[in-house]
Every structure is written in C-alpha cells, then in structure tokens.
Amino acid sequence: MNVENSGKDEIRQNRNLPAVIAAVIIGAAIVISAIITILLLVLPVSSGSSSSEENIQKIRAEDLSTDPENVQDAQAEVKSEITIAGESSAEESSSEENISTDPVMVRFDVSASSTLEAAGYNYDVSNLTDLDASTCWADGESGNGTGETITFSSGQAQTVRGLAVLPGYCKSEDLYTKNAAPSAVRIEYDGQTTEYTIDDADLTYNSSDPMAGTVYIDFGQEIQISECKVTITGVRDGSKYDDCCISEMYLYK
C-alpha cells in the first residue's frame, strides 16, 4: 500500500468534509422551513375557525343584550298566538256545549180530549210529564185513539224549541206490544202547523233504557208560545188493546 497516496486520500476526505456538513445543514434547513411553512398554513385555519365561532356567539349574545325590543316582540308574538288559540278553543267549547245541551222540560198545564178510566189504574194526563216510563196516559174513547188531542197551555208565553214524545206504554215490553201507540202527530202552535211521522225504528221498546225511546221533534228555532195542541193522526195498533198510550209528552227548550 502506498502510504503517500493514502495520506493524499485522507487529505481529500478532510477537504470534502465541510461540504458534506454544509449540505446536511442546508437539507435540514429546507426540511425545517417546509415544516414551519406547513404549520403556518394549517394553524391559522383552525384557530380562525374557532375564533369565528366565538365571534358568532359573541355577536348573538350582543344582539340579545343590545336589542331587547326584538326579543320582547318575539315573546309578545308567541303570547298573542297562545291567547288567540285559547280564545278560539273557548269559543269552540262553548259552541259544542250549546249544541250538546240536553232538552229541558218546560212546565205547562196539560189536558186531553179523553182519558181511560179503569179501577185500580191511573192513566191520567199528568203521567205525560212525570219523566217516568212506567206510567202513561191512555185515551178513553172507542177506537185506536186517532183524532184524540193533548193540549199544553200556560198563563204567559214561554220559550220552547220542540216537543218530546215517548210513544207507547213503556212499563214493560209486554204492555208496549199489547197497547197501541201514536205513529204520527199534528202539532199546532201560534198559527203554525207541523205534521210529524214517527219512524218505525222509534216505535220499538228499549228494555235496557225505556226513556231512550223518546222522540224529540225540533221546531227549528226557539219560539215563545202560551198554547200548543197535539193531535194523534196515526197509530201503531196494539196486539190486544185499542187503547192508544203515551208514556211521556212535553214541550222542551
């Protein structure tokens, strides 16, 4: 091995060392610069986003605190809507209550063209207004009761809106079937005449609730009258008796 040449090679290597170190330093600097550049690009975006959200929240908070009129207006509008809804509901409820009001009997003096007289039995006309399905009025003339009349009278005009009729003797199904019942009536009041036919479906006995068979003949409006005459114009014949019976009949409002 040539010692001289070896020394020269060592000298060359020593001369090249600074260049290598410089290249390493430059490369490291480039890498570090690239990393710093990336960080500078990324960090502002994320921090800016957070800052924007905070700003938005601050703006909203400032709007609420510095512009209370808008908040009050919004609250007032909501309250107004609730109040209107409540008033509408009350009106609808009131209307429904008026529509669903049960008929109320109006007291009149009652008389009939005839009444059946039988020992031990009461078929008086007062039975028509006792709200008891087990009692009845029965006509006292021969025949099936067609043409018999019932008259309601009062010393002063009273407000009514219809006539209620529970046809037949509703004490039991047996008595209901054996006795006759009105199937049509003529109602006369204040110069007005109304003809009414009772449906066959309403001429049946309700064993669970006999009063449920009451027929309500509505006059279409409230009227003030002091007299009303009802004439039996049609009859459903009984299977055994000709007596025409009515358990309830009264004017109502």
Q: Which two tokens stand for residue 223?
A: 């009227």
CATH of 109-252, one of 3.40.50.300, 2.60.120.260, 3.30.930.10, 2.40.128.520: 2.60.120.260
Choose among 108, 118, 117, 101: nearest CA to 230: 108
Residues lower than pLDDT 50 in the chain:
1-8, 10-12, 45-72, 74-76, 78-100
Secondary structure E strands in 190-214: 192-197
Cα–Cα dist 131/249, whole Å: 9
Q: Which residues of 43-62 are buried (b: 16+ CB within 10 A; e: fewer)?
A: eeeeeeeeeeeeeeeeeeee
Q: What is the reported pLDDT for 232?
A: 98
Q: Strand 149-167 relative to strand 245-252: parallel, antiparallel, unpaired? A: antiparallel
Q: Are 196 and 250 in contact (CB under 8 A)?
A: no
Cα–Cα dist 106/246, whole Å: 18
Instruction: List all residues 6 or more positions away from 51 whose beta carbon is below 8 Å from its beta carbon.
Output: none
Q: Which two tokens stand for residue 158?
A: 């009273």
pLDDT in tens, 45-101: 444 444 444 444 444 444 444 444 444 454 445 344 433 333 434 444 444 444 446
- Report field, pTM of the whole predicted structure over 0.75: no
Cα–Cα dist 247/245, whole Å: 7
Cα–Cα dist 205/175, whole Å: 10
Domain extent listing, the chain? 3-98, 109-252
Q: Which two tokens stand for residue 127?
A: 């039975």
